[in-house]
Amino acid sequence: MQNSSLYNRLLKLDAYFFNFLRISIFIVMAWIGGLKAFQYEADGIVPFVANSPFMSFFYKSAGNKVLNEDKKLVSEYTLYKNPEGKVVKKNIDWHTQNGTYTFSYGLGTMIVIIGIGVLLGIWFPKIGAVGGALTFLMSLVTLSFLVTTPEVYVPNLGGDYPTPQYGFPYLSGAGRLVIKDIIMMAGGLVLFSDSLKKVLKPSA
């Protein structure tokens, strides 16, 4: 009987658990989306966007190929990377012309709006259902970077010894960041389902 009482108490907490998930997704969305307004974050997403069939058309120079210092044909954006915490004017100028910052502002705004939609699901299930569905779709696009973006895997840069682990399935820092979105995808789907149940059965 005591176990049954504890079980019933835990069951009553599920609404709080769902709302904690909503708040968690909102925090991630608002924080990451807000950072898209800053130069270093906008520069950081360039490899993902430039190689994505869903987003590359937003950049003016996404498909451009040029010769690097080693006379190898590479994507033009690779010559204008700004390491986090470092600002190089010629790189900034290139990104400005490329549309890097304009796109990042728009993307960041969209991410924040989705996050707000998820949060509002606490009080407005219909909005929450839309927010959950958009979270799922956004995460699906993000996970597609594992297929389209070379930078998500460890490159073979050579060195004193042969590189023992490179390419698939050896995720780089960027790849490890992307794969985590599968959790966001699952969260969006769960919240979509929970909000939809409330819409269809408001008295439940």
Token readout for 31 is 């924080």
Q: How far apart are the first and last CA of the chain?
A: 26
- Three-class SS state of 24: helix
Listed residue (127, 134, 129, 130) closest to 111, CA to CA: 134
Q: What single letter denotes the amino acid at residue 152?
A: V
Listed residue (43, 50, 59, 34) closest to 109, CA to CA: 34
Q: How confident is the model at residue 159 (pLDDT cuts 50, 70, 90)?
A: confident
144: pLDDT strictly greater than 70: yes
Q: Determine the average pLDDT of the residues in 100-123.
A: 98
For the whole model, what pTM was predicted?
Answer: 0.90
pLDDT digits (tens, 9 = 90+) for 11-49: 788 889 999 999 999 999 999 999 999 999 999 999 999
What pLDDT does residue 9 have?
79
What pLDDT does residue 17 have?
94
Listed residue (150, 59, 42) closest to 98, CA to CA: 59
